[in-house]
Structure 1
Amino acid sequence: MATRDRKLAAHLARRAGFGATPDELDYYESMVYEDLVDHFLDRESLDHVTDDLIYRRHPNMHAQLHHNPMHWAYRMLTTDSPLEEKISLFWHGIFATAEPKINNFGAINNQINMFRDKGLEKFDDILIELSKDPAMIVWLDNQTNHKNEINENYGREILELFSMGVGNYTEQDIKECARAFTGWTIENSEYMALMGNKDSIWPYGRIFWHFEYDENDHDGGEKTFLGETGNFNGDDIIRIICKQEATAQFVSRHLYNYFVADEVPVPQWGHVPPKDPDAINKLSQAYRETSYSIREMLRFLFNSDFFKQSRFTRIKSPAEFIVNTLRYTNEFNVIDGADNTVYQVMEESGFMGQKLTNPPSVEGWHTGEEWITSGSLVDRVNFASKYITDLSNPGVEKMVARVGKSINTKTSPTELVDKCIAILGELEVSPDTYDSLMTIAEHAHSADGDFTSAPEPIITKAFQIISSSKEFQLC
């Protein structure tokens, strides 16, 4: 029987990362929970292979037309700092930027790296980095935002989708915000736009974009924004945005939606109250008390009762679902496991409704129940049952062997079922799923007298049923 500490550790591993293998859970279970939270939040990836070595060993990974999702998948599958990748996914869904318009794979990759490096820092620092990010500048056309010809795209979206939400600012605030961000552009923007079609994805000859502040193109006049007046630049605007209560609530609700429980889609937030207003208020207080630190907000969140009581209240995104499944199988940690196959794997994420680095709009993806359609559910079930039952995958072989070694002639069908459920991340299954598992276990037990003679078929069959269940879609 799994201990309460092990179930809680598994819950944290699903939310702060992509789940945990049985061996990882053994280690996590040995830690005091608060120390485990710190382990996820304060850990830096020390052993990660650098990008140039990955591409040298796996040239096919970088030769594909759309290599960024494949590269990112490899990082998610092999990282020893899973929250670093999880927070990158979080910001990618909010600050949604798509490759087709950018047409510069390097710029998108650099943006994702920025999310890794800055994603747990203070929210004002994150917004400043975002505002200087070349991919975002081109995505929302801020290179065409001039002091004599304002483009409001970035000014509107930083307020509506990135920080405060609809209803907390005026159209005049949008105009003043856009004025403050004039001159925030990329070097040689016209030339770089032309050369984008010749972008090289190899380590040599790559054309990178760089942020440039053009003082001559900046509107230095007086501006009135959210009730304050001054000769504001973009940094000043972000400072004003971040001290608003609406921003505290908006950021808190995003963190709750991603790390605690599914909320309604963001466009409905203006007229649908939060699922747990008290939790949002407590997170907002943490936002203010820690000077907008995302890391410290998450430290409070992961240690809270509302988090600990929220097991299996989120539907995994396609990327989470795929990475969670494949971290069990350990397939892509072997020396030749990351060429074209990992590209094909991330194509599956697109079929399930989430093509990384190509969100459907500046709103990003709608999450929660909207991840599940009749087609995407079939894709999910087929994917998981294919990989979780393949004994040629080292992780699957190890899990089956671990269950097999734990049984003896006295092991009952109920005990076997419980062991199979527990080894797949301490899952909690419905009565219907449990009954299906008991049916196959009792049949095998009555046929052979016990499970010791040939345990592998019954264990892999149990894995197939579990990975095909609706509960396996949750985290």
Structure 2
Amino acid sequence: MTNQTRQQQMRYLFARAGFGATPAELDAASRKSLKKVVRQLFNDSESVPELRVVEADTSETKKQLKGLFRNGQLDKDMLKERIRDNAEKVRDLNLQWLDQMAIGKAALREKMALFWHGHFACRTQGRNPLFMQQYANTIRQNALGKFSDLLMAVSKEPAMLQFLNNQQNRKNAPNENFAREVMELFTLGRGNYSEHDIKEAARAFTGWQFTPDGHFIFREQVHDEGEKTIFGKTGAFKGEDVIAMLLENKQTARFVTAKIYRFFVNETEDKKRVDELAAQFYKSNYDITDLLETIFTSDWFYDPKNVGAHIKSPVELLAGLRHTLGVQFEQPQSQIFVQRTLGQLLFYPPNVAGWPGGKNWIDSSSLLFRMQLPSYILKAAEIAVQPKEDGDVNTQSLARKGGSRFQTKVDWADFEAAFAKIPDSNLTDAIASTLIPFPLRPDQRELISKQAKPGQSRSEQIHAITTALMSLPEYQLT
């Protein structure tokens, strides 16, 4: 394998297992064995810095709740102010998480957590920043551990219990929403359970509630203690028993593995390969790290049919661009504008099924903005695009604060240093090999090379070529 081919392999790995790489990272990785590079990705993701925009303080929570009332009546103005303040804290949480993705050190953990955010889709209700903070940290902390631990932990998160209405699930008045989504979206997939299973499981989940200060609590007085029959088994089951039954079912391993395969490998599923991976996943007691390590070190992962087959999500695109060029936004909230305009705002999935992904990311308006985004960010060009309407007043107001022009700082020095010894005649291809999944066609090479004008300094040439390459449709692919 030539050094250039090796570097292309590393570019693909870093793009799929993280959010891309700098030229220096690709150069260093291309000198190591594949297994060592993959192992290093996991080692770098061992620590989990907490996201924190609010403190989990019981007395403060009670004080805030009390402050919403005046003379025993709900103060509507105070409520509006509280909702607005909470929405801004959720925005800050969004930006903190995006920073962690863009830093790149624990990129694999953050990439996997982004996958779980779509799998365990949860939208903030009442704009509660504490609940969303706990939910985000739970999926990040458990992202590379055991799926069994993650499933139990996220199912008990107040944000999820609230989003799926389990606070209203009580004996003699069961609410089936939580039980249905746990089966349909989190574990088995549609068609692998009966309506009777859902009704009985809903009874088992009665009593799974939460306190205003963000603690899971099992309220025995509202739990249905009677016998239930679920998946052919009968007993006085509780929620934990249902989770255990779902994990015992091999269909859960198959369903989750297939989603991971479509996210990391190819949207077109290789049934036999997914079956093999699912069997391994089940046998390993749902070890996520073991599954991913198998994928990333397998020859078939690097098959040409998989390269360039994944369309970057808006968050992947933004985090990757930031990481590759060390981009910092002087007004961080501009990134909210980008997310909303492209249709993926962290903590605001469109529904319980999460973002559909794939070709759904692309339409006529978003494709144009995607291809112009590098110019907007790297050249501070005027923005002539409006965010998509999603019916949420809070996300609309937060996006408007992004302004009509991005002010950014770009760490060009490190990027340029990687190409210091590259002759001018090879400069375009050398930069392209670090940014896009396919070799340039002759017409593309000629067009891109023309961006470097006579009389420009070496730095200016690199800036112009890089911006032009990032504006190609191929930059949208990994």
| TM-score interval, normalised by the smaller of the two chains | 0.7 to 0.9
Whether the aligned pair in 2 keeps the contact of 1:45 and 1:80 (CA below 8 Å) is: no
* 1:372-410 CA-partner distances (Å, limit 9, x unpaired): 01111112112123335689844334323432x2244xx
Identify the residue that residue 463 of structure 1 maps to in structure 2. Answer: 466
Is 1:103 the counterpart of 2:139? The answer is no
Q: CA deviation at 1:61?
A: 13
Q: 2:321 aligns with which of 322, 325, 334?
A: 325
Whether the aligned pair in 1 keeps the contact of 2:253 and 2:278 (CA below 8 Å) is: yes
Give 3-state SS (helix, strand or coil) of 2:332's partner: helix
Matched residue type, 1:182: T
Q: Distance in 1 between matches of 2:379 and 2:371?
A: 12
Q: Distance in 1 between matches of 2:88 and 2:452?
A: 48
Q: Distance in 1 between matches of 2:98 and 2:248?
A: 35
Q: 1:76 aligns with which of 101, 117, 123?
A: 101
Q: CA deviation at 1:470?
A: 1.2
Is 1:296 the counterpart of 2:290? The answer is yes
Is 1:252 the counterpart of 2:264? The answer is no
Matched residue type, 2:366: S
Deviates more, 1:4-13 or 1:149-158: 4-13
Q: CA deviation at 1:48?
A: 5.1
Whether the aligned pair in 1 keeps the contact of 2:45 and 2:107 (CA below 8 Å) is: no
Whether the aligned pair in 2 keeps the contact of 1:389 and 1:463 (CA below 8 Å) is: no
Whether the aligned pair in 2 keeps the contact of 1:429 and 1:471 (CA below 8 Å) is: no
* 1:148-188 CA-partner distances (Å, limit 9, x unpaired): 2100000101111111111111000001111111111012x
* 1:200-248 CA-partner distances (Å, limit 9, x unpaired): xxxxxxxx31110112222222221112222221111111111223212
Task: Give the 5 Å matches for 1:2-401.
Answer: 2-44=3-45, 46=47, 51=52, 66-99=91-124, 101-187=125-211, 192=212, 208-263=213-268, 275-309=269-303, 310-332=306-328, 341-388=331-378, 393-401=409-417
CA shift in 2, pair 1:156/1:25, >3 Å? same
Q: Distance in 2 between matches of 1:428 and 1:387?
A: 24
Whether the aligned pair in 1 keeps the contact of 2:169 and 2:202 (CA below 8 Å) is: yes
Taking only aligned residues, the RMSD between alpha carbons, in angstroms, comes to 2.7
Whether the aligned pair in 2 keeps the contact of 1:183 and 1:213 (CA below 8 Å) is: yes
Whether the aligned pair in 1 keeps the contact of 2:155 and 2:161 (CA below 8 Å) is: yes
Q: CA deviation at 1:31?
A: 2.4
Aligned pairs, number: 419
Q: Distance in 2 between matches of 1:378 and 1:444?
A: 23
Task: Give the 5 Å matches for 1:432-451.
Answer: 434-439=442-447, 441=449
Q: CA deviation at 1:459?
A: 2.8
Q: How high is the sequence identity, in percent, across the aligned residues?
A: 32
Q: Distance in 2 between matches of 1:162 and 1:368?
A: 20
Q: CA deviation at 1:71?
A: 1.8
Whether the aligned pair in 1 keeps the contact of 2:314 and 2:344 (CA below 8 Å) is: yes
Give 3-state SS (helix, strand or coil) of 1:27's partner: helix
Whether the aligned pair in 2 keeps the contact of 1:221 and 1:231 (CA below 8 Å) is: yes
Identify the residue that residue 200 of structure 1 maps to in structure 2. Answer: none
Matched residue type, 2:285: S
Give 3-state SS (helix, strand or coil) of 1:67's partner: helix
Q: Distance in 2 between matches of 1:121 and 1:49?
A: 17
Matched residue type, 1:311: V
Q: CA deviation at 1:13?
A: 1.0
Q: CA deviation at 1:439?
A: 4.0
* 1:347-394 CA-partner distances (Å, limit 9, x unpaired): 201110101101111111111001001111112112123335689844
Identify the residue that residue 56 of structure 1 maps to in structure 2. Answer: none
Q: Distance in 2 between matches of 1:460 and 1:369?
A: 30
Q: 1:406 aligns with which of 415, 418, 421?
A: 421
* 1:44-103 CA-partner distances (Å, limit 9, x unpaired): 4559587479xxxxxx9996673221121122122521112111111111111112x242
Give 3-state SS (helix, strand or coil) of 1:66's partner: helix
Whether the aligned pair in 1 keeps the contact of 2:51 and 2:93 (CA below 8 Å) is: no
Q: Distance in 2 between matches of 1:145 and 1:326?
A: 44
Whether the aligned pair in 1 keeps the contact of 2:53 and 2:92 (CA below 8 Å) is: no
Q: CA deviation at 1:430?
A: 5.3
Identify the residue that residue 199 of structure 1 maps to in structure 2. Answer: none
Q: Distance in 1 between matches of 2:410 and 2:459?
A: 14
Give 3-state SS (helix, strand or coil) of 2:237's partner: coil
